[in-house]
Amino acid sequence: MMHNKKKNAGLRARNWTLIIYLDSAPENWKEILTETGVPWAHSPLHDKDVDVNGCILKPHYHVVIKFSLLKSYQQMLKLTGKLRAPNPQVCVSLVGSVVHFTHSNKSDKEKYQYDQQEIESYNGLDIEELLKPTKTEMNEILKEIRAFIIENDIQEFWRLCQYADKETSNWSRVINTKHTLINQFVTSYRHSRDKRKEVLQVDEIQLESALCLPTITTIEEYKKSQKNAELQALGVKEYQESYECQYSVQV
């Protein structure tokens, strides 16, 4: 423990992460953090995390703190001391830490998925702005959404929103930003689908009229009807040839 303290003594950073355990933190731990005046946020209560053996871990909160100036490890130890929390860690990625709040990153997909709505932020830390996808991420998510619309025959924009709100917060954020573009895609897909249905219906009517047969529902029935039509045509041809031959003999 002393070795770790010496190793970390020179650490200075603007963003830090903490873990708050309910069985040891004071009841007013949120007030202690808020009174610093520094933007911060905490995760939903992690009460369903398990270790490698499948045993439930102690209920805890993950915390991120965003200072405007560099803070030393020693300064942070004073804060964690008040909170009766484990030693602080430098926050390598503020976005990555917040995404870990709910286990929504790809590496945590096997873990329990917590509700983003249960994230709480204080002193002006804007979680929505923080989690806004980059331009590259936005393009990839838009591709996923368009493919989902076609594969699942989504014809109404509200159904897509309902799915996104329930299943994936990343999609919800993109839909909220690009709702006009996505709604146009849904509308265009629905109209093109309707046109394809109309063309198929017209083709079926024309086919029925041409063959003078009941509605054809399978390829085999179509082939059979084609064969019957050919036989009928062949019969007429043979009759004509026979008639012409008789007429020629009489003359």
Minimum mean pLDDT range among 147-161, 183-197, 203-217 = 203-217
* pLDDT at residue 81 tops 90: yes
- The rounded distance, in Å, linking the Cα atoms of 71 and 15 is 8
Q: What is the DSSP string of 174-207?
A: HHHHSHHHHHHHHHHHHHHHHHHHHHHHHHHHHH
**Residue 136: Cβ-neighbour burial (10 angstroms; 0-12, 13-18, 19+):** exposed
pLDDT of 136:
84
pLDDT of 168:
74
Residue 244: C-alpha distances to residues 231, 236, 237 (Å) = 20, 12, 11
Angle at 132 between CA 127 and CA 137, to 5 degrees: 145
Q: Which two tokens stand for residue 208?
A: 């029925």
Tell me the average pLDDT of the chain. 81
Q: Which residues pair with 163 in a beta bridge?
A: none
pLDDT of 247:
45
Ranges 129-143, 148-162, 190-204, most confident? 148-162
What digits encode the pLDDT tens for the residues 18-53? 999 999 999 999 999 999 999 999 999 999 999 989
Residue 21: C-alpha distances to residues 45, 48, 63, 86, 108 (Å) = 10, 14, 11, 9, 21
Ranges 17-21, 100-104, 164-168, 208-212, most confident? 17-21
Percent share of the chain, pLDDT over 90 = 48
